[in-house]
Chains A and B, each alone.
Chain A
């Protein structure tokens, strides 16, 4: 996913490309070649709502909440009761976010509703459809809509499924503010909300650098604050294989950076999946083949293609060897395991950036190419491999996602395959082509967040319009969303969180809110407060520009 463009950028980065380097950011921006708007922080009429809901009606009527009297509870008519632990967990989480973790204390002599007239005492959560999906997993077709009414004496959150309720709770928590006396307040409000796109993801790369579970969980938590719903776990790559496979333990034993301290055990994976589920987040694992697999070869002999130098093996290895039956036996068993470990209906199979030079060097592969009548066209060999792999995965009852090259090479895909567009420059054309062929697609090309630059690059991410390609209405409907990718070459636990947030928040709003939400000034104001809210919740989200948060980050 990374090499050609990144190499070019790296070369650029190595040169002294800047002229004057002033203290003033506006001048520095000119140096960067792109003058930015001078954004002045002032309160938005939408407060700190992020991402902006589809329909919001705010009134000036203010109600108070106290940690003593306020509670979040199931509405009478709700199809989810106290047995719905997903919601009970969320109630507690959001109570703590709203009241800063303060303990609820019953004060003697004071009833719950005795605190005065303009007080909000309860948020009633009402799941309206017969099956709330409490114990289910979120999916691409999950209903995430909700309606929130804040009024006296109750606020009511209505959602067909728990997934919408989770988003509604987040929205509710964003409506609460402190007045000048520090009293928690909320204005009477009506919100009706649903996502513009169903697939709103973050890709983290745990192969270039190992990411401790704690970091992954913290980022799932932050994703929920931004209504993102897919964690694309690029779990293995050339550099390391941290996934501990029950069927092939040698893969991580040999291929991880360290077989014990730098692996994800089945229990770890379970924890991530469940943590995600409780926040309405799907976990889609990516096991990228046939390229990007150097680390696989360490624990699985004969899986990779031996490269030749002249007539002898050079000792190095290339992509997965597509001509051996053992390769497909291995893949069958491996993906059978994966299909049980990861409950999501989709698995990402990669398929990007296959380097043909090793295949070309190998005489056995040449013979095979001749037998198959592929001539010198190695992309046919690649397609041959992928086709077999896709058929294997299809037997595990999973859908699959693949990087755009697989589509470009003309591999026959299942109708429900998702094509992942990542190559910058021409992404619009690609979206057009993929959707014209009738495939669903997601966009990542403009959202490679590992590419950093000076100043407010979040604006660039924000201004992307995923449906700006040429195509029919039908084609546009095939775009189910996008993903912000944080590739791991230069990222690990030390810098991941501030690098991702709030830059990924910009992507989150683009994927959730209506297409006409584009006022960059209002966005700046809401995002500034939203980032301070993430900081107050313990997430080291980096600043947008010179300013301050009432509660600064307490870590270092």
Chain B
């Protein structure tokens, strides 16, 4: 299911595989701990099985299309072994070599492919098996499995007999990080990707540049970061940094969606690319200040085409975010050349037409590059005629407002992403995760067809007040509340009070895994965070 949505990983699929895990002997009883986000279909019994860290291993099913050598799963086995047995320090090799050797001796079994449920996880005596159509589903299944394992008071590991069939409600479940208002070191981004995988998020929306700084080191236009970054050496993302982020994300089933927001939010671009921004005028002379990208010059479009060509080859995802929000017209209005251009184009004094003209050109560039564009809702609001496959990103307003917008956009046949209720950079006292949890993304007036056009949602962590010092505790577990809304069945997860203990539990799991996730309310975790 993970790949059958509107948005796909295309080039990465190690398709159709079946593989399994292994467990030993039934014993005792224990209440089942929760899984976050809640799986679609979940049954478990009180019968529990101990796991022996020394004997336990992951293996590929005989009929699995993926076998040893599938980079995503080989790496996931290693990761999840330590996540499942956090205390275990004994010798155990998770490399392919030794577990193939052990294979026969522990006699593990292969389930035949289940046709009904593409992603299913079943745990029973002696073995657990995980079936998935793609590696991406398998990665999600491993996460689920890891959350099923628990330790008793003696430190022994157990898992209950369990059957799970699972798939996401929405194919696009994103987190936006803003690396322009504050530079976020690569290691902090990687840590965020780890935590995203624990909540089954699958899109990292990288708002990589904006007014304050341009940290992306472009191969074609190195001056952009040389002059536009906070610091040209220490506060940039090199090409290898970007590759590292993409590869780290891929191994966790996470897409990296870059945003190069224009024509507004581009002050930092102007430092390294002369004549890109519009010179503002005060009266008949340039004031020395600059406004949005200059839409009246052909050189602008040449530049954007070259930059976006680079971006689309650096970022493998088939989508690219073009921004298009919050364009301030005052500078354009002040500039005589822009006004002349308006006249020539017959735009009159309607600057939204100028902006629409600009965005249309940029969207066409990405279409030419075989990429699908995502734009902020502003672009639709002033210009409803944009290519049908463009995805619109709603960020403004109260529930009433964004519901109206959802109706309007889907009625126009456009696909939509919802971010408005999940501006998680806005903080307040108390348990605001409850607000994020109780969002109903499809609660707007529209046909069933219209609802299908909502491809998902995104949690936005804008960076005015956030950097590596406070990013993680601000993001987690608040973003996890949205994660469940985007993954799980809404009917089964309608009670925020029922979710509370499960989320508390999950938050402690995050802390145990080294994620500095903040507490929901008073209480404690068995293993508290040990840093400062």
Taking a contact as CB atoms closer than 8 A, the residue among B326, B434, B518 that contacts A494 in the complex is B518
Q: A23-B326, A210-B524, A452-B429 are in contact. Are A491 and B468 (CB under 8 A)?
A: no
> For chain B residues 444-488, which have a beta carbon within 8 Å of chain A?
462-474
A23 and B396 alpha carbons, distance in the complex (Å): 10
B523 at the interface (CB under 8 A from A): yes
CB distance from B154 to the nearest CB of A (A): 15
Taking a contact as CB atoms closer than 8 A, the residue among B464, B465, B518, B532 that contacts A215 in the complex is B532
Task: Decide if B464 touches A556 in the complex (CB within 8 Å).
Answer: no
Task: Decide if A494 touches B516 in the complex (CB within 8 Å).
Answer: yes
Taking a contact as CB atoms closer than 8 A, the residue among A14, A19, A494 that contacts B435 in the complex is A14
Chain A residues whose C-beta falls within 8 Å of the C-beta of B435 in the assembled complex:
14, 16
Q: Give the interface segment out of B33-41, B78-86, B183-191.
A: B183-191
Task: Decide if B398 touches A546 in the complex (CB within 8 Å).
Answer: no
Task: Decide if B398 touches A16 in the complex (CB within 8 Å).
Answer: yes
| Interface residue count on the A side (C-beta < 8 Å) | 66
CB distance from A450 to the nearest CB of B (A): 7
Task: Decide if A543 touches B182 in the complex (CB within 8 Å).
Answer: yes
A545 and B464 alpha carbons, distance in the complex (Å): 5
A489 and B435 alpha carbons, distance in the complex (Å): 18
A540 at the interface (CB under 8 A from B): yes
CB distance from A305 to the nearest CB of B (A): 22
CB distance from A544 to the nearest CB of B (A): 8
For A210, the closest partner residue in chain B by CB is B524
For B531, the closest partner residue in chain A by CB is A555
A107 at the interface (CB under 8 A from B): no
Chain B residues whose C-beta falls within 8 Å of the C-beta of A258 in the assembled complex:
524, 526
B522 at the interface (CB under 8 A from A): yes
A495 and B471 alpha carbons, distance in the complex (Å): 10
Task: Decide if B464 touches A495 in the complex (CB within 8 Å).
Answer: no
Q: Give the interface segment out of A5-13, A87-95, A505-513.
A: A5-13
Task: Decide if B526 touches A542 in the complex (CB within 8 Å).
Answer: no
Q: A19-B398, A493-B529 are in contact. Are A542 and B469 (CB under 8 A)?
A: yes
B443 at the interface (CB under 8 A from A): no
For B194, the closest partner residue in chain A by CB is A556
A539 and B474 alpha carbons, distance in the complex (Å): 17
Task: Decide if B429 touches A552 in the complex (CB within 8 Å).
Answer: no
> For chain B residues 227-249, which have a beta carbon within 8 Å of chain A?
230-231, 234-235
> For chain A residues 165-224, which have a beta carbon within 8 Å of chain B?
208-210, 212, 214-215, 218-219
Task: Decide if A25 touches B464 in the complex (CB within 8 Å).
Answer: yes
Taking a contact as CB atoms closer than 8 A, the residue among B230, B395, B531 that contacts A548 in the complex is B230
B226 at the interface (CB under 8 A from A): no
> For chain B residues 513-532, which have a beta carbon within 8 Å of chain A?
516-524, 526, 528-532
| Interface residue count on the B side (C-beta < 8 Å) | 62
Q: Give the interface segment out of B353-361, B379-387, B410-418, B420-428.
A: B420-428
Taking a contact as CB atoms closer than 8 A, the residue among A10, A544, A548 that contacts B231 in the complex is A548
Task: Decide if A495 touches B522 in the complex (CB within 8 Å).
Answer: no
Task: Decide if A535 touches B469 in the complex (CB within 8 Å).
Answer: yes
Chain A residues whose C-beta falls within 8 Å of the C-beta of B468 in the assembled complex:
540, 552-556
B399 at the interface (CB under 8 A from A): yes
B334 at the interface (CB under 8 A from A): no
| Interface-central residue, A23, A209, A239, A547, by most chain B CB under 10 Å | A23
Q: A10-B431, A16-B435, A20-B397 are in contact. Are A546 and B463 (CB under 8 A)?
A: yes
| Interface-central residue, B183, B191, B531, by most chain A CB under 10 Å | B531
A361 at the interface (CB under 8 A from B): no
CB distance from B177 to the nearest CB of A (A): 13
B205 at the interface (CB under 8 A from A): no
Taking a contact as CB atoms closer than 8 A, the residue among B399, B474, B531 that contacts A493 in the complex is B531
> For chain A residues 32-71, which have a beta carbon within 8 Å of chain B?
none
Task: Decide if B399 touches A546 in the complex (CB within 8 Å).
Answer: no
Task: Decide if B522 touches A488 in the complex (CB within 8 Å).
Answer: yes
Task: Decide if B426 touches A454 in the complex (CB within 8 Å).
Answer: yes
Chain A residues whose C-beta falls within 8 Å of the C-beta of B234 in the assembled complex:
550, 552
For B192, the closest partner residue in chain A by CB is A556
| Interface-central residue, A25, A539, A541, by most chain B CB under 10 Å | A25
B291 at the interface (CB under 8 A from A): no
Chain B residues whose C-beta falls within 8 Å of the C-beta of A450 in the assembled complex:
429
Q: Kindly supply a per-residue 1/0 record for chain B positions 357-372, scoring 1 wherever the CB is within 8 Å of any chain A CB and 0 otherwise.
A: 0000000000000000
CB distance from B320 to the nearest CB of A (A): 19
Task: Decide if B470 touches A495 in the complex (CB within 8 Å).
Answer: yes
For A10, the closest partner residue in chain B by CB is B430
Chain B residues whose C-beta falls within 8 Å of the C-beta of A492 in the assembled complex:
518-519, 528-529
A105 at the interface (CB under 8 A from B): no
For B399, the closest partner residue in chain A by CB is A16
Task: Decide if B466 touches A451 in the complex (CB within 8 Å).
Answer: no
Chain A residues whose C-beta falls within 8 Å of the C-beta of B469 in the assembled complex:
497-498, 535, 540-543, 553
Q: A13-B432, A212-B528 are in contact. Are A21 and B423 (CB under 8 A)?
A: yes
B511 at the interface (CB under 8 A from A): yes
CB distance from B437 to the nearest CB of A (A): 11
For B213, the closest partner residue in chain A by CB is A548
B271 at the interface (CB under 8 A from A): no
Taking a contact as CB atoms closer than 8 A, the residue among A6, A209, A542, A554 that contacts B470 in the complex is A542
Task: Decide if A493 touches B530 in the complex (CB within 8 Å).
Answer: yes
| Interface-central residue, B234, B265, B517, B523, by most chain A CB under 10 Å | B523
CB distance from A506 to the nearest CB of B (A): 15
A102 at the interface (CB under 8 A from B): no
CB distance from B224 to the nearest CB of A (A): 17
B47 at the interface (CB under 8 A from A): no
A18 and B518 alpha carbons, distance in the complex (Å): 23
CB distance from B22 to the nearest CB of A (A): 32
B325 at the interface (CB under 8 A from A): yes
B181 at the interface (CB under 8 A from A): yes
Chain B residues whose C-beta falls within 8 Å of the C-beta of A215 in the assembled complex:
532
B212 at the interface (CB under 8 A from A): yes
Task: Decide if A453 touches B464 in the complex (CB within 8 Å).
Answer: no
Task: Decide if A13 touches B398 in the complex (CB within 8 Å).
Answer: no
Chain A residues whose C-beta falls within 8 Å of the C-beta of B399 in the assembled complex:
16
Chain B residues whose C-beta falls within 8 Å of the C-beta of A257 in the assembled complex:
523-524
Task: Decide if A548 touches B524 in the complex (CB within 8 Å).
Answer: no
Task: Decide if A556 touches B397 in the complex (CB within 8 Å).
Answer: no
For B477, the closest partner residue in chain A by CB is A494
A262 at the interface (CB under 8 A from B): yes
**Can you name 10 A-B pairs with beta carbons within 8 Å?**
A6-B429, A24-B326, A210-B528, A455-B464, A495-B519, A540-B470, A540-B532, A544-B465, A546-B463, A556-B472
Q: Which 10 A-B pairs have the closest CB atoms?
A: A495-B473, A498-B470, A540-B469, A548-B230, A546-B181, A257-B524, A13-B430, A218-B532, A10-B430, A495-B518
